């Protein structure tokens, strides 16, 4: 009965319909078009579905309280970006890489998730593997014939990271003066990594633009969650500008054209998290009956400075508080969207996601 309720709930929150069911193929312009059957994920906590060690915040209540009803390693009260992209493709969320030896091998048929919370393109403050190492894990799986060439050619890679790189850089250097040159380094390495993923045989790649860093609660707390930071948002704009310019150049490179892709532009898709976040926040701010709610304010926060969502003190005393209606919040904690937030963001990514089919 519990499983039935969970499945029913998952269908409801994902707005299940025939458009979300797996389709095998269609004919377009006389060419047979095969639906992506697998999803390979590289990134940070926006994409992680359980790779981080059990001591991390995503494995402690109240994380997972909306779905699946208990902590699952996701940094949210419920579903995250990976879950929504997988649902759009008509497949189950791919298994976390660290679970590969503990699950039935048939569960790996939908791909694999290599994302680890707290990580970046380069090393960050987290101990978990950066993007290069995540791709190493993927390459090892390919070399061990876990997936065939056909499996890979009909698959999609989701790449979502970089925010932690800039947070770590600022913490280490104490200022943002040298960030522009560092952004160039991040983009250059990111593009190299995308080429490497494509070179391993993945059919299509979806890479996220950076979300508006200046609107994250961790930044807006200084203004009581009323205003976004122009400085941090300028970093976001510079990153996204360089990302788009570099990917446009990359699309011109014939090496990005896979056998299943008629053109390079269809092999590489940008998911504009920046525009999706801004649009979703504006939508929630102006929803009827919700004008008094501040979408920049997180639902789960520490009781005082020094504590954060999920912190528990001596004798099990909760050092955090929850909002009254998590189902209407956009941000779950100081960095991560709630399930409702991700659902709103996902609704603004549809047009880009259709290019993956």
Nearest C-alpha neighbor of 201 from the set 126, 239, 255:
255
Interatomic CA distance for residues 348 and 354, integer angstroms: 12
Nearest C-alpha neighbor of 134 from the set 40, 39, 36, 271:
40
Nearest C-alpha neighbor of 40 from the set 197, 165, 256:
197
HSE-CB for 251 with a 13 A CA cutoff: 18
Six-digit token string for 237: 């704009």
Six-digit token string for 209: 């633009």
Ramachandran area for residue 304 (φ above 0: left; ψ -120 to 50: alpha; else beta): beta
- Is omega for the bond preceding 302 within 30 degrees of 0, making it cis? no
H or E element, residue 157:
strand 155-160
SS3 147: coil
Sign of CA dihedral 213, 126, 192, 73: negative
- Alpha carbon 252 to chain centroid, angstroms: 26
Interatomic CA distance for residues 22 and 25, integer angstroms: 9
Nearest C-alpha neighbor of 160 from the set 275, 276, 75, 271:
271
Contact 48, 113 (CB under 8 A): yes
Burial class (CB in 10 A: 0-12, 13-18, 19+), 271: buried
Catalytic: which of 65, 165, 333, 343?
Answer: 333
Catalytic: which of 45, 65, 93, 155?
Answer: 45
Contact 161, 43 (CB under 8 A): yes
Contact 189, 122 (CB under 8 A): yes
Catalytic-residue membership of 77: no
Catalytic: which of 110, 239, 274, 336?
Answer: 336
Catalytic-residue membership of 123: no
Query: Under 8 Å CB-to-CB from 1, ≥6 apart: which residues?
Result: none
Catalytic-residue membership of 336: yes
Q: Enumerate the active-site residues.
A: 45, 333, 336
């Amino acid at each position: 009965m519990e499983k039935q309720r969970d499945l029913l709930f998952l269908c409801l929150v994902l707005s299940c319909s025939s458009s979300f069911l797996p389709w095998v193929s269609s004919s377009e312009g006389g060419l047979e078009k095969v639906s992506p059957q697998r999803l390979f994920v590289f990134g940070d906590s926006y994409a992680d579905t359980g790779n981080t060690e059990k001591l991390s915040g995503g494995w402690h209540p109240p994380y997972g309280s909306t779905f699946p009803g208990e902590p699952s390693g996701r940094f949210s009260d419920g579903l995250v970006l990976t879950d929504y992209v997988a649902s759009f493709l008509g497949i189950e969320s791919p298994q976390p890489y660290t679970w590969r030896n503990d699950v039935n091998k048939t569960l790996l048929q939908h791909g694999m998730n290599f994302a680890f919370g707290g990580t970046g393109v380069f090393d960050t403050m987290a101990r978990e593997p950066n993007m290069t190492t995540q791709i190493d894990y993927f390459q090892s799986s390919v070399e061990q014939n876990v997936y065939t060439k056909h499996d890979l050619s009909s698959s999609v890679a989701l790449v979502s990271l970089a925010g932690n790189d800039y947070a770590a850089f600022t913490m280490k250097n104490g200022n943002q003066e040298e960030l522009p040159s560092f952004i160039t380094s991040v983009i250059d390495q990111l593009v190299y990594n995308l080429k490497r993923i494509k070179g391993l045989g993945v059919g299509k790649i979806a890479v996220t633009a950076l979300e508006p860093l200046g609107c994250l609660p961790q930044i807006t707390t200084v203004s009581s969650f009323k205003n976004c930071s122009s400085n941090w948002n300028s970093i976001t704009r510079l990153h996204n500008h360089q990302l788009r310019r570099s990917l446009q150049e990359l699309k011109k490179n014939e090496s990005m054209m896979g056998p299943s892709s008629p053109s390079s532009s269809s092999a590489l898709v940008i998911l504009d998290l920046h525009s999706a976040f801004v649009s979703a926040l504006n939508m929630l701010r102006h929803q009827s009956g919700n004008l008094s709610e501040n979408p920049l304010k997180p639902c789960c926060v520490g009781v005082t400075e020094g504590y954060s969502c999920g912190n528990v003190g001596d004798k099990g005393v909760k050092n955090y508080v929850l909002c009254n209606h998590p189902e209407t919040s956009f941000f779950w904690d100081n960095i991560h969207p709630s399930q409702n937030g991700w659902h709103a963001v996902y609704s603004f990514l549809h047009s880009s996601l259709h290019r993956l089919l």
